[in-house]
Structures are given as C-alpha cells and as structure tokens.
C-alpha cells in the first residue's frame, strides 16, 4: 500500500486482516526458516515471528511452521508470486503471494481484478512506479523525535526520514534493513511496523467515483490466504473508510 492515513487507521486495517487468518503468518515463517531455523541468526525469520506473535499466532503454530521450513516436518512447498496490474481508475497495484498452487492463486487474483474494474497486467507493467525500500514506522505518541531517528537510523544506513501527522517513516535500502532494525532496537526505539515494502515513486489520484471499487478489490485480495501484501500508488488512503 502507499503510505497514507494515520497510525490508528493503519492499525485498524492490519488488525482486521490479522484476525481473519493465521495461515499467512505461518507460511511467512516457513519460507523464512528455509534459510535457517534460529531467529537469532536469521533476521528475516525473526521479523516473520514478530509479526506472527503480534497477530496472536500460538507458539505451537510458530514452532511447527519453523520445523516445516527447516525440513524437520513434512509440509507444502510454497512459491513466491508477484502480480502487477491496474485497479479502477488506473491506479497501479502490486500483489505479492506465497502459494502451494500457482494456478489457484493466479485465478483468484485475476478474478479480484476483473470483478472490481481492474486489469491484471504483465510482469513489469507497474513495478517501475515503485521502489523496494525497508520501511520502519514510528508512532509520535511514544515520544520518539526526528533527531533521535537521525542519530540512530541514519548512522545504521537509513537514507531518509519522512514526517507525517502522527508518525515518522524511516526509509532504507533493503540490504541494510536488518542493520537499521537492530540499531533502533538497541537504542530502545519501538516500531509500529517494520518491513521491506514496495514504496510508490509516483502516485495516482483516482477519481472519487472509483474509490469504492478500489477498496473492495484490495479487501478481496487481502482476504485470500495466498496473498501476503497488496501495494498501490493511490494518492488517496484506500484503507480509510469514510
């Protein structure tokens, strides 16, 4: 998603999805654990576990997902898929998925695009409008200041700090994301969320008449257990139900 809306709005949107399904978080852990089952030596796994715990995924489920990833337990093999296309009004959309059935997922994603006035495109058709960035979000209510973030995050390799009404975003290249996360944790600074995301480098202003369709399409995509993330370059907050 594009970075729009308030911290409260983002949390509400995320919480509703977290409550809907634990499957996504278990898959994320399983895939991350393929690179090693010890989160102390696998930062990607540590991030996946933190997300799963925040969503309320039971510890037994987390342990089982790790063992599937390391091969200690038999399990499905997940494939990473990326879909690109346009939503209603020409808004660029990227969908990232983890699936054990490529045909099922492709059909489901295409159906969501078609049903709500979008068009699923070819690989690369919209990715040029996005940059891959590590994104760390900080809530101003915690008392964090821009000076603190500059001192800690920029020293660790972050390249920009963006201020919003109630938060700060720290942006960094993907290859130093884990270093920046470790640095802010060591400094005692708490993130609302931290992940590698697709950040729009150019935005689109959808006509008000299609915003409802865009929201419904995103909801349909995110309700799919195979879909991990949905990004758009909409200049309008599509998660803010008015």
Q: Do residues 65 and 88 share a domain?
A: no
**Is residue 213 one of the residues assigned to a domain?**
yes
How far CA 27 is from CA of 9, 62, 134, in Å, comes to 26, 10, 21
| Domains: count for the chain | 3
Q: Are residues 135 and 114 in the same domain?
A: no
CA-nearest of 3, 21, 17, 5 to 241 is: 5
Does residue 106 lie in a domain region?
yes
Using pLDDT thresholds of 50, 70 and 90, give the confidence band for residue 117.
very high
- Same domain for 141 and 119, yes or no, is no
Mean pLDDT of all residues in 12-30: 75
End-to-end CA distance of the chain: give it in Å, rounded.
18
- Mean of pLDDT values over 37-54: 88
Tell me which residue range forms the domain holding 212: 79-128+202-232
* Whether residue 55 is found in the same domain as residue 90: no
Residues 83 and 181 in one domain: no
**So what's the pLDDT on residue 55?**
84
Give how far Cα 167 sits from Cα of 91, 118, 144, 172, 173, Å. 25, 32, 9, 17, 20
Query: Which is more confident, 91 or 165?
Result: 91
Is the residue at 87 inside a domain? Answer: yes
């Amino acid at each position: 998603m594009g970075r729009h809306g308030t911290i409260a709005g983002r949390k509400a949107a995320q919480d509703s999805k977290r409550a809907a399904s634990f499957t996504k978080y278990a898959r994320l852990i399983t895939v991350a654990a393929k690179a090693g089952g010890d989160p102390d030596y696998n930062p990607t796994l540590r991030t996946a576990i933190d997300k799963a715990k925040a969503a309320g995924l039971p510890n037994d489920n987390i342990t089982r997902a790790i063992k599937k990833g390391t091969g200690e337990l038999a399990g499905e093999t997940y494939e990473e898929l990326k879909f690109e296309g346009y939503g209603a009004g020409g808004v660029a959309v990227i969908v990232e998925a983890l699936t054990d059935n490529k045909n099922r997922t492709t059909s489901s994603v295409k159906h969501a695009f078609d049903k709500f006035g979008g068009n699923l495109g070819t690989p690369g058709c919209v990715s040029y409008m996005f940059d891959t960035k590590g994104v760390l979000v900080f809530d101003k209510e915690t008392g964090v200041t821009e000076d603190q973030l500059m001192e800690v995050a920029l020293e660790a390799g972050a390249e920009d700090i963006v201020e919003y009404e109630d938060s700060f975003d720290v942006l960094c290249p993907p290859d130093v994301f884990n270093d920046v996360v470790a640095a802010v944790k060591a400094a005692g600074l708490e993130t609302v969320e931290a992940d590698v995301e697709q950040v729009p480098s150019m935005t689109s202003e959808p006509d008000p008449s299609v915003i409802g369709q865009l929201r419904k399409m995103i909801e349909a995509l995110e309700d799919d257990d195979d879909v991990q993330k949905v990004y758009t370059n909409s200049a309008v907050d599509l998660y803010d139900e008015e």
